[in-house]
Amino acid sequence: MALPHNVWAFVFGIMGNIISFVVFLAPVPTFVRICKKKSTEGFQSLPYLSALFSALLWIYYAMQKDGSGFLLITINSVGCFIESIYIILFITYANKKTRISTFKVLGLLNFLGFAAIVLICELLTKGSTREKVLGGICVGFSVIVFAAPLSIMRLVVRTRSVEFMPFSLSLFLTLSAITWLFYGLAIKDFYVALPNVLGAFLGAIQMILYIIFKYYKTPLAEKTEKSKTVPDHSIDIAKLTTVMPGPVLDSAVHLLPAIHTVPDTELQVTEVKSQNITGLKDQRNKDFENQNKV
């Protein structure tokens, strides 16, 4: 017996709340590190500011719906609370320059930006039109957020390393997108379902890339690993001298006598000279013998 759509919406909504809560907790190790070192090091505040802004938008959008947006309100309210804690901790331990830039983005995006959207929608739109305008804004910003990991995926392909793309985070992001996709289909909400199609697709690509490059080894890396397995029988003279310091005795060193090599041209010249001398001696002997005969 098939369950009604509202039951399916409730099931997928609860699953989406649980999985999204796990995703919201993903940066906890990062902030534990920040608190221990009392420094934000090279971390950026933009992901947390963007997540807070996205949660605010979805809460405002869900409030325009008649009861069907309750589960959207619950998880995004939790998200606002968690992201606010992250931002407070970041500002606390950031240096002066990073703190100022964080306050600027927080003021422009999360306060002025959100306030402008609320004022425009409240003053210029009504009813279903307001829902459509807000839905379009939510879809646009969600697409930007989902497209952010493209830079990480490019880094993975370029470096052949998955160091900066944890599999667990990619998995939970994909599951969250799939769950909210089915939730949007169950409540027949195009604006909820559409961005999660892209999220599920990009999440699946991330996991595929992880599986490929986790066990991928370049030929250079394989040669390096093979060279490491070959034992090194060479003698390090520097190490030997450090092991046996002190003067070296003459008896311990036997030097071979120096052998001076003579070029071939010099040998040939010497041979020619010796032949000429021998010929002159023979000629003198013959002349002396002739004189005696006379």
pLDDT over 70 at 17, yes or no: yes
Residue range 224-261, pLDDT digits in tens: 445 544 444 444 433 433 444 444 444 333 433 444 44
Span 107-136, average pLDDT: 92
Q: What is the pLDDT of residue 284?
A: 57
Residue range 77-98, pLDDT digits in tens: 999 999 999 999 999 999 999 9
Please give, one letter per residue, the 3-state secondary structure of the chain: CCCCHHHHHHHHHHHHHHHHHHHHCCCHHHHHHHHHHCCCCCCCCHHHHHHHHHHHHHHHHHCCCCCCCHHHHHHHHHHHHHHHHHHHHHHHHCCHHHHHHHHHHHHHHHHHHHHHHHHHHHHHCCHHHHHHHHHHHHHHHHHHHHHCCHHHHHHHHHHCCCCCCCHHHHHHHHHHHHHHHHHHHHCCCHHHHHHHHHHHHHHHHHHHHHHHHHCCCCHHHHHHHHHHHCCCCCCCHHHHHHHCCCCCCHHHCCCCCCCCCCCHHHHHHHHHHHHHHHHHHHHHHHHHHHHHHC
Span 59-86, average pLDDT: 92
pTM > 0.85: yes or no: no
Q: What is the pLDDT of residue 155?
A: 82
